[in-house]
């Protein structure tokens, strides 16, 4: 279905477009280049493009946005604005900088607005002392952020792509994560540290613009690892991460920066960390995911419920570590079946921890009706031309649901 | 919706295409994509944004290190204890004596604790013989609100800032009085009260942290001018300066104008690796100017030179709202690298003995004090006996002290213990209670019960 909306959405899923000289008024390009590698097979029933304008994952109306029971009463009585994910991140950053004069925002190219526009207008609004570019050095950015946080600042550091976080891995693993533990009764923690990074597949990011290294960080005691699924979630979870007394790794699915648009409450609000959310209740199977694949899961469960006449519970982990084990276990005790979906590779991924926890829990083990199934990236690097066969698609999630139900 | 500009590193080279030109001092031209640099009539050529003050030359010639003389080493006092810098005003005899005593204290503690480790009474130790002057001298020039990041061979800094024998010993024996709660290896000291961040083993990680901390101090003073001006002092060895974090740190400190003093202890060795295998430039100091940083090299065995240079560095670091300074203190690592190292496997005993005899910071300051009539053999003897007693008493007390509660294993990973950690603590307690003969918990406060709650 190539509606004009569909075309725009296909385009907007890309993170890169043609380069333009930067001016104060960036005009919308009217040039359209079809991207044949993003189209879907003509006969496809499952693997059709996600329609972000209708998916129930997003709140398309003010009333649905404000009916969220996790929001405080004053927010639920407030107003909303249509925002995509980068705009909601920008909004959250702006509120954080407003709220606390000790908040700093820095990284490569953040001053002019960031390569994904998340920091647009913030340097002008808050000054170049608080929103600034750093030299091109990830270990420097994170080391600097740790030091600033250790001396009482709220350091919001950006790593331009999650793929480039590895030079800072030592700083995150050996320093940030262990800071409070080794300082003991001196009591100096690194709650002021938040590290943002765009992650995930984007259609044509290949090896170094597609990675989701969250499971590497979930193996590190001391860090909180968060990945939102939508603009509302991104704003609330990012503001929580910034306030959290622990260092947080905040991963932003870059494919959603423009694609995911919903009504986002305007005021400052937070959403709880380490709490999973039952996005859709069900009774026959538990589908667990987080980040971008939540949309794939939603499409697959709609098809599966229609075709197989079952009821599926969809859970968004939101914080992948320390994660909300209890919500998932309770759901699986009820449904007896579980499918876990994530984009990063299957081996030792977040799904491994979830599956092992389900199997290892005495009560849940007894309730299992089928093997726990993981749908994830293959154990390969992200190949440019083969991305759509690597990222879990609707067909693979559907198939896993079907297998589990028919087991 | 706006059209998105290129995102990402793939296109970073595109900066050279002119799309990304920015004038120096980003932030002043926020949101402008074009540089304000223009060619002036009659200029010596195009002013490249990457090096605006470079003139053209028609001579093809490479720069070579040998073109430059080595950066000189500043001395205020001769090895005989005579002041040789006419500009230099020494501190009062009272402070000189305090510094002398602190150096002696560190050196005696080093000998005793090294032997204690050899007897198996603590797991590890790192002495700092030959570098007492660098540490005590620089620390004496700092204010108590200045923040310190150290590597691990800076016992003199802790001593000069007010660490007590009990503080040292509690940490070394990892007992219940150790603020680190017995989690860290010996010599990984830290003190909130003294504004010294807890030491971690990974080398050089503290250097960019010091840059960030310095930026925080600068911002806090901007927000509240009533706060007295503060700097960060960051210590590291010449081996650690080979790490990428050193490069990252000096560069970001320069671009963000951070009030930080980088103090490099160049003692000639990184474990067994001599400096000849560590670098081929003129030490660490020669790198400073490459980052646009004020730099000085001093004689680390001359406590007055170190103190004077640090004082000056501190005032420089606070100039114009803040800027970094690099100080390289030259010394010789007289002791083994640590208790896990026998340095005679890679250097001649005679070389070490020679250094010990020829020049060391304690002897040099002693000569200075004796020439002023402020010190003599009698006082020396008294001091050494007294210090030895103090160390041994603190040693015995700390060794006898109980270890902390087992619960602290699981605490402070996060600000609050997570359900997962509570579950694991319960699990461990269950096993210990079911197999009491398999676990020796007598030395821990509260024993197995410490794992409750």
Tell me the per-residue pLDDT of A42-83, one tens digit each, with 9 for 90 and over. 999 999 999 999 999 999 999 999 999 999 999 999 999 999
CA distance A245 to B411: 14
Residues of A in contact with B197 (CB under 8 A): 150, 183, 188
Could you give phi then psi for residue B235, rounded to 5 degrees? Answer: -105, 145
> Could you read off the pLDDT of B195-244 as tens digits, one per residue?
999 999 999 999 999 999 999 999 999 999 999 999 999 999 999 999 99
CA distance B338 to A195: 36
Lowest mean pLDDT among A178-187, B137-146, B330-339: B330-339
Hey, of A144, A203, A208, A225, which one would you mutate to test binding to chain B, going by the most B CBs within 10 A of its CB? Answer: A144
CA distance B46 to B37: 9
Strand partners, A248: A194, A224
Instruction: Identify whether the C-beta of residue A253 lies closer than 8 Å to the C-beta of residue A304.
Output: no
CA distance B37 to B20: 13
Q: How far away is chain B from the Cα of A320, in angstroms, using its nearest Cα? A: 13
Q: Average pLDDT, whole number, for chain B?
A: 91
Could you give phi then psi for residue B280, rounded to 5 degrees? Answer: -120, 0
pLDDT confidence tier of residue B43, bands split at 50, 70 and 90 = low
CA distance A312 to B135: 65
Core vs surface per residue A115-139: b (16+ CB within 10 A) or e: bbbbbbebbeebebbbbbbbbbbbb
DSSP-based helix, strand, coil % in chain A, nearest 5: 40, 15, 45
Query: Are residues A175 and B31, on separate chains, in Cβ contact within 8 Å?
Result: no
Q: Is A382 on the interface with B (CB under 8 A)?
A: no
Question: Rounded to two decimals, what is the model's pTM?
Answer: 0.91
Query: Are residues A123 and B256, on separate chains, in Cβ contact within 8 Å?
Result: no
Provide the terminal-to-terminal Cα distance of chain B, rounded to the nearest Å: 54
Burial classification of residue A309, based on how many CB atoms lie within 10 Å of its CB (0-12 exposed, 13-18 middle, 19 or more buried): exposed
The three-state secondary structure class of A140 is helix
CA distance A2 to B98: 82
Q: How far away is chain B from the Cα of A185, in angstroms, using its nearest Cα? A: 5
Peptide bond into A322 cis (omega under 30): yes
Type and span of the H or E element at A287: strand A285-289
Could you give phi then psi for residue A243, rounded to 5 degrees? Answer: -85, -20
CA A231 vs CA A12, A254, A256, A404: distances in Å: 15, 12, 9, 32
Instruction: Identify whether the C-beta of residue B202 lies closer than 8 Å to the C-beta of residue B243.
Output: no
Which token pair is B67? Answer: 């073109």
Q: How far away is chain A from the Cα of B106, in angstroms, using its nearest Cα? A: 23
What is the maximum span of chain B, computed from C-alpha positions, in angstroms?
Answer: 89
Which token pair is A16? Answer: 């890169």
- B398 closest CA partner among B239, B202, B170, B144: B170
Residues of B in contact with A143 (CB under 8 A): 205, 207-209, 211-212, 245, 248-249
Q: Is B2 on the interface with A (CB under 8 A)?
A: yes
| Residue range A341-346: mean pLDDT, rounded | 98
A138 is catalytic: yes
Instruction: Identify whether the C-beta of residue A179 lies closer than 8 Å to the C-beta of residue A146.
Output: yes
- B113 closest CA partner among B349, B387, B403: B387
> Could you read off the pLDDT of B276-312 as tens digits, one per residue?
999 999 999 999 999 999 999 999 999 999 999 999 9
Residue of A27, A102, A180 lying closest to B415 (CB–CB): A180
CA distance A335 to A329: 10
Name the residue in chain B with its Cα closest to that of A146: B209
What is the predicted pLDDT for the residue at A11? 37
A268 is catalytic: no
- Who contacts B205 (Cβ-Cβ below 8 Å, separation ≥6)? A143, A170, A171, A174, A175, B245
Report which DSSP code applies to A38: G
The three-state secondary structure class of A148 is helix
> Could you read off the pLDDT of A225-235 as tens digits, one per residue?
999 999 999 99
Instruction: Identify whether the C-beta of residue A209 lies closer than 8 Å to the C-beta of residue B214.
Output: no
pLDDT at A35 over 60: no
What is the predicted pLDDT for the residue at B407? 97
CA distance B378 to B397: 29
């Amino acid at each position: 279905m190539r509606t004009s909306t569909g075309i725009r959405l296909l385009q907007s899923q890309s993170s890169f477009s043609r380069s333009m000289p930067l001016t104060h008024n960036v005009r919308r390009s009217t040039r359209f280049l079809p991207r044949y590698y993003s189209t879907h097979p003509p006969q496809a029933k499952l693997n059709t493009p996600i329609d972000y304008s209708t998916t129930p994952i997003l709140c398309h109306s003010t009333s649905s946005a404000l009916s969220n029971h996790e929001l405080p009463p004053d927010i639920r009585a407030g107003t909303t604005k249509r925002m995509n994910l980068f705009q909601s991140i920008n909004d959250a950053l702006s509120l954080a900088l407003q709220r606390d004069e000790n908040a700093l925002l820095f990284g490569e190219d953040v001053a002019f607005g960031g390569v994904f526009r998340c920091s647009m207008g913030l340097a002008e609004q808050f000054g170049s002392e608080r929103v600034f570019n750093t030299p091109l050095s990830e270990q420097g950015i994170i080391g600097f952020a740790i030091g600033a946080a250790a001396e009482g600042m709220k350091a919001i550091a950006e790593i331009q792509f999650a793929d480039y976080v590895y030079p800072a891995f030592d700083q995150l693993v050996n320093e940030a994560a262990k800071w409070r533990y080794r300082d003991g009764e001196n009591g100096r923690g690194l709650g002021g540290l938040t590290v943002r990074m765009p992650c995930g597949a984007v259609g044509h990011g290949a090896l170094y613009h597609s990675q989701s290294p969250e499971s590497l960080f979930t193996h590190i005691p001391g860090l909180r690892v968060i990945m939102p699924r939508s603009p509302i979630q991104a704003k609330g979870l990012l503001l929580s991460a910034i306030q959290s007394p622990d260092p947080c790794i905040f991963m932003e699915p870059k494919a959603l920066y423009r694609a995911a648009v919903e009504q986002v409450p305007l005021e400052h609000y937070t959403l709880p960390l380490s709490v999973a959310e039952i996005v859709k209740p069900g009774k026959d199977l538990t589908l667990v995911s987080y980040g971008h694949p939540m949309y794939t899961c939603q499409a697959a469960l709609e098809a599966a419920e229609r075709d197989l006449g079952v009821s599926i519970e969809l859970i968004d982990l939101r914080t992948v570590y320390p994660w909300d084990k209890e919500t998932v276990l309770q759901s699986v005790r009820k449904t007896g079946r579980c499918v876990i979906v994530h984009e990063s590779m299957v081996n030792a991924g977040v799904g491994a921890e979830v599956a092992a926890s389900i199997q290892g829990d005495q009560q849940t083990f007894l309730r299992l009706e089928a093997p726990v199934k993981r749908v994830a990236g293959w154990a390969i690097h992200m190949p440019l031309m083969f991305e759509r066969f690597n990222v879990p698609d609707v067909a693979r999630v559907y198939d896993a649901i079907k297998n589990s139900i028919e087991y | 919706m706006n059209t998105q500009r290129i995102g990402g590193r793939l296109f970073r080279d595109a900066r050279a295409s002119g799309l990304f030109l920015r004038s120096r001092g980003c932030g002043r031209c926020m949101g402008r994509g074009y540089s304000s640099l223009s060619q002036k009539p009659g200029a010596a050529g195009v002013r490249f944004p990457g090096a605006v003050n470079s003139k053209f030359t028609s001579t093809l010639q490479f720069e070579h290190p040998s073109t430059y003389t080595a950066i000189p080493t500043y001395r205020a006092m001769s090895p005989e204890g005579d002041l040789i810098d006419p500009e230099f005003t020494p501190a009062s005899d009272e402070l000189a004596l305090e510094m002398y005593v602190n150096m002696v204290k560190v050196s005696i503690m080093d000998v005793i604790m090294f032997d204690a480790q050899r007897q198996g009474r603590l797991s590890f130790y790192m002495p700092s013989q030959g570098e007492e002057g660098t540490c005590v001298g620089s620390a004496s020039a700092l204010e108590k609100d200045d923040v310190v990041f150290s590597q691990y061979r800076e016992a003199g800094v802790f001593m000069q800032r007010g660490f007590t024998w009990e503080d040292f010993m509690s940490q070394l024996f990892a007992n219940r009085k150790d603020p680190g709660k017995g989690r860290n290896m010996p010599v990984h000291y830290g003190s909130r009260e003294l504004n010294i961040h807890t030491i971690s083993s990974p080398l050089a990680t503290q250097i960019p942290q010091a840059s960030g901390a310095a930026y925080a101090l600068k911002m806090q003073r901007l927000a509240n001018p009533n706060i007295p001006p503060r700097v960060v002092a960051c210590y590291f060895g010449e081996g650690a300066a080979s790490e990428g974090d050193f490069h990252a740190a000096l560069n970001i400190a320069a671009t963000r104008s951070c009030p930080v003093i980088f103090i490099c202890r160049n003692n000639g060795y990184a474990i067994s690796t001599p400096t000849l295998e560590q670098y081929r430039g003129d030490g660490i100091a020669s790198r400073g100017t490459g980052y646009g940083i004020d730099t000085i090299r001093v004689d680390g065995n001359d406590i007055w030179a170190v103190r004077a240079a640090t004082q000056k560095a501190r005032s420089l670091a606070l100039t114009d709202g803040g800027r970094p300074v690099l100080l390289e203190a030259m010394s010789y690592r007289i002791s083994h690298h640590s208790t896990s190292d026998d340095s005679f496997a890679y250097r001649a005993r005679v070389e070490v003995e020679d250094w010990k005899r020829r020049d060391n910071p304690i002897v040099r300051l002693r000569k200075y004090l004796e020439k002023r009539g402020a010190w003599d053999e009698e006082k020396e003897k008294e001091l050494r006996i007294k210090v030895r007693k103090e160390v041994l008493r603190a040693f015995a007390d700390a060794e006898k002290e109980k270890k902390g509660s087992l619960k602290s294993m699981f605490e402070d990973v996060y600000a609050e213990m997570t359900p997962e950690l509570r579950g694991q603590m319960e699990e461990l307690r269950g096993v210990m209670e079911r197999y009491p003969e398999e676990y020796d918990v007598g030395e821990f406060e509260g024993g197995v019960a410490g794992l409750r709650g």
